[in-house]
């Protein structure tokens, strides 16, 4: 099956960025130039530029054009997406290291987060998600076994916990808090960062129709990650 034109354009742009031909803040070809180069409509070229902008690869400035974005990976503050999809959408390679997958007894903070009794058995996982082989996120997650009884037998190199939980306990609600932290020595090692580097931590609880499904702490190196979003207000 032939590759769609918009996908060819995205591959071309990400290839130029990855090779170093287009550096950070460099202007990329316009919709008209891309349409002429790839023999396609302006709408097709616009779709490629829009998708790369939404994924944080490019930045668009009204009246000035489209530019190569900063090197930090970007996630949306307004939506919960699968980190593997985010990385792949940027045209980068995704990989994961699984550090823990076990059953533990809930401490008071975890029991409160999952609406369980202290000491209740819960499932616990620790994963390091990598972009181009470089650690981007340490995900530590606690899961209510009642909603995902087969969690401990999953292969999270094939699908992320977010993907699996979305299938077995579809998300209906989420709450998260975001804060800057200094990582512990253990987190520093997992993220391959120096002791002085600040990190961004997202704490997230997710619900299905039956109750609280999981509680996760997602930690990112400050030098490799940023959160962003776009809001449109009705006049």
Please check whether residues 51 and 83 belong to one and the same domain: no
Q: Are residues 64 and 85 in the same domain?
A: no
Question: Are 95 and 207 in a shared domain?
Answer: yes
pLDDT in tens, the chain (235 residues): 678 889 899 889 988 887 888 888 888 999 999 999 999 999 999 999 988 887 778 888 777 788 887 765 555 444 567 888 888 888 889 999 999 999 999 999 999 889 889 999 999 999 999 999 999 999 999 999 999 999 999 999 989 999 999 999 988 888 888 899 999 999 999 999 999 999 999 999 999 888 899 999 999 998 877 666 554 555 5
Contact (CB, 8 A) for 21 and 13: no
| Claim to verify: residue 55 and residue 103 sit in the same structural domain | no
Cβ atoms of 194 and 182 within 8 Å: the answer is no
Question: Residue 22's domain is classified under what CATH number?
Answer: 1.10.10.10
The answer to whether the Cα torsion of 79, 76, 198, 98 is positive or negative is: positive
Q: Are 31 and 74 in contact (CB under 8 A)?
A: no
**Residue-level pLDDT at 73:** 52
What residues form DSSP beta bridges with 137?
Answer: 129
Query: What pTM does this model have?
Result: 0.68
| pLDDT value, residue 231 | 47
Is the domain of 82 the same as that of 159?
yes
Q: Are residues 105 and 123 in the same domain?
A: yes
For residues 91 and 201, membership in a common domain is answered with: yes
CATH number of the domain that 113 lies in?
A: 3.40.1410.10
pLDDT score at 149: 96
Rounded CA-CA distance 200/197 in Å is 10
**Rounded to an integer, what distance in angstroms lies between the CA atom of residue 101 and that of residue 160?**
13
- Say if residue 103 is in the same domain as residue 202: yes
Number of domains in the chain: 2
**Longest C-alpha distance within the chain, in Å?**
64
Same domain, 184 and 134: yes
Instruction: Give the chain's count of helices (H) and strands (E).
Output: 7, 10
| Residue 104 DSSP class | E
Compute the distance between CA of residue 125 and CA of residue 98 in angstroms, rounded to an integer. Answer: 8
Strand 65-68 relative to strand 134-143, pairing: unpaired
Among candidates 127, 121, 115, which has minimal Cα distance to 162?
A: 127
What is the residue range of 106's domain?
78-226
Residue-wise DSSP of 34-83? HHHHHT--HHHHHHHHHHHHHTTSEEEETTTEEEEPPSSEEEESS----H
Determine the angle formed by the axes of helices 5-18 and 31-38, rounding to 10 degrees: 110
CB within 8 Å of 43: residues ≥ 6 apart: none
Coil vs helix vs strand at 155: coil
> What is the rounded distance in angstroms from the CA atom of residue 140 to the CA atom of residue 118?
19
């Amino acid at each position: 099956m032939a590759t769609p034109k918009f996908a060819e354009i995205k591959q071309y742009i990400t290839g130029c960025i990855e090779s170093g031909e287009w550096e950070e803040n460099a202007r990329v070809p316009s919709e008209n130039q891309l349409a002429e180069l790839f023999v396609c409509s302006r709408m097709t070229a616009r779709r490629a530029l829009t998708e790369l902008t939404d994924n944080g690869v490019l930045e668009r400035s009204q009246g000035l054009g489209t530019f190569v974005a900063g090197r930090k990976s970007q996630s949306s503050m307004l939506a919960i997406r699968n980190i593997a999809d985010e990385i792949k959408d940027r045209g980068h390679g995704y990989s994961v290291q699984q550090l823990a997958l076990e059953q533990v007894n809930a401490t008071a903070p975890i029991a409160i987060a999952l609406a369980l009794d202290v000491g209740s058995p819960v499932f616990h996982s620790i994963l390091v998600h990598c972009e181009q082989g470089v650690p981007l996120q340490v995900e530590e997650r606690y899961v209510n076994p009642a909603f995902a009884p087969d969690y401990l037998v999953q292969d999270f190199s094939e699908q992320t916990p977010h993907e699996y939980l979305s299938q077995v306990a579809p998300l209906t609600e989420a709450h998260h808090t975001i804060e800057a932290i200094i990582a512990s020595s253990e987190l520093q090692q997992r993220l391959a960062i120096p002791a002085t580097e600040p990190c961004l931590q997202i704490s997230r609880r997710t619900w299905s129709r039956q109750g609280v499904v999981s509680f996760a702490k997602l930690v990112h190196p400050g030098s490799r990650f940023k959160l962003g979003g776009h809001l449109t207000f009705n006049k």
